Amino acid sequence: MNNEDKNQITVSLNPWPEFTGASFRNFYQNEKHITRICDFYVLIFMLERSLFFREDGKDIVLNKGEWYIQKPDLLQQGIKGSPAPSYFYIHFNAKEIPDIENVSLNKSQNIANVILPRRGIYDSKFLIPLFHQLDYCYRNKAVHLLNCQSIFLSLLNTITVNNNTEEKSGLGRQITKYISENYNKDINCNCLAKQFHFSTEYINRKVKQYCGQTPGQYLQEIRILRAKELLANTDHTLSYITKETGYHDTTVFYKAFKKQTGISPGNWREESRGMSK
């Protein structure tokens, strides 16, 4: 399995992924993630602050606005305390297709499958109402069992890269991947047009079709997420974080951060560490 394959999961739709549980979770300050090996998948949608854990020997930091899939049969450890994060989690079972040969075989046999990236960014204003619906239905699952599965599949669909549409969304996916890997460099539509040999209008349209944002909006979101990670987990100065996240001016970074989060970088650092009064 290559590096890119490790960042995604190919799941069969025969049988369908099965919802088994969901709830909101609030950590207290410096609480550690549980150490465990699950026999099910855990889909985490971060709501506030940051969650720290180690999975399969790799340190993971999840920030507000991100989602992540914890895989079964991997050791998850709470190595250090987290700064009072809150998130919504979903437990589910699924039949994973382990390698590319099986994916090709399923296509030839017309057996449907979907690709789930392990990690991504979600739009809270659209998904949080679904979290509350699913939480209510699960707590009353005796009469809402089918609703649980339906809402779960709707949420799963929002993070799914469908094999049938992957070719159409391929350029948008390549561009967002490029932005994610080069967010700290000078990136604009003109340089993307040169990099991918398409017009700026076409680049804009394809990225918006893929993720619902313009390249500039997506770049801004990635930069702010990285800034949050640095603010929460390091003592670097604003000047350092400004340069590390691709901004050339601290004032521009400050305004961009406050516009995105509603608070200043300094206040966000204090809140993420539970230091605010």
**Rounded CA separation 220/169 (Å):** 21
Closest CA to 177 of 164, 161, 154, 165: 161
Q: Which residues contact 234 (CB under 8 A, 6 or more apart)?
A: none
User: pLDDT > 90: what percent of the chain?
Assistant: 45
Q: Mind giving me the DSSP string for 47-87? A: EESEEEEEETTEEEEEETTEEEEEPTTSEEE--S-EES-EE
Quick one: angle between helices 200-211 and 170-181, nearest 10?
Answer: 90
- 118 phi and psi angles, rounded to 5 deg: -70, -25
CB 35 within 8 Å of CB 76: yes
**Rounded CA separation 248/266 (Å):** 18
Q: Is the peptide bond before 72 cis (omega within 30 degrees of 0)?
A: no
pLDDT at 99: 58
Q: CATH 1.10.10.60 occupies which residues in the chain?
A: 170-272
Q: What is the pLDDT of residues 72-101, one digit of tens each?
A: 999 999 989 999 999 999 999 999 987 544
Q: What is the pLDDT of residues 113-159, one digit of tens each?
A: 888 889 888 877 778 888 998 999 998 887 788 889 999 998 998 88
What does the block give as tokens for 234? 């390091």
What is the number of alpha carbons within 13 Å of residue 10 lying toward its C-beta? Answer: 20
Q: Mind giving me the DSSP string for 85-147? A: -EEEEEEEE--B--SHHHHHHHHHTT--EEEEESEEE--HHHHHHHHHHHHHHHHTHHHHHHH
What is the domain class of 170-272 according to CATH?
mainly alpha
Angle at 33 between CA 32 and CA 34, to 5 degrees: 110
Q: CATH 2.60.120.10 occupies which residues in the chain?
A: 3-164
Domain 3-164 CATH (choose: 1.10.10.10, 3.40.50.1240, 2.60.120.10, 3.40.50.300) = 2.60.120.10
Range in 28-42, 143-157, 251-265 with the lowest mean pLDDT: 143-157
**Rounded CA separation 254/239 (Å):** 10
Query: 33-37, 220-224, 226-230: which has the highest mean pLDDT?
Result: 33-37
Cα dihedral: 4, 8, 13, 15 (round 10): 120
pLDDT mean across residues, the chain: 85
pLDDT at 25: 96
pLDDT at 245 over 80: yes
Range in 28-42, 119-133, 215-229, 258-272 with the lowest mean pLDDT: 119-133
Q: Read off the pLDDT band of 185 (50, 70, 90).
A: very high
CB 11 within 8 Å of CB 94: yes
CB 24 within 8 Å of CB 97: no
Average pLDDT over residues 52-57: 93
pLDDT at 4: 42
Scored b (16 or more CB within 10 A) or e, 195-218 reads: eeebeeeebbebbeebbebebeeb
Residue 235 gets which letter from DSSP? -
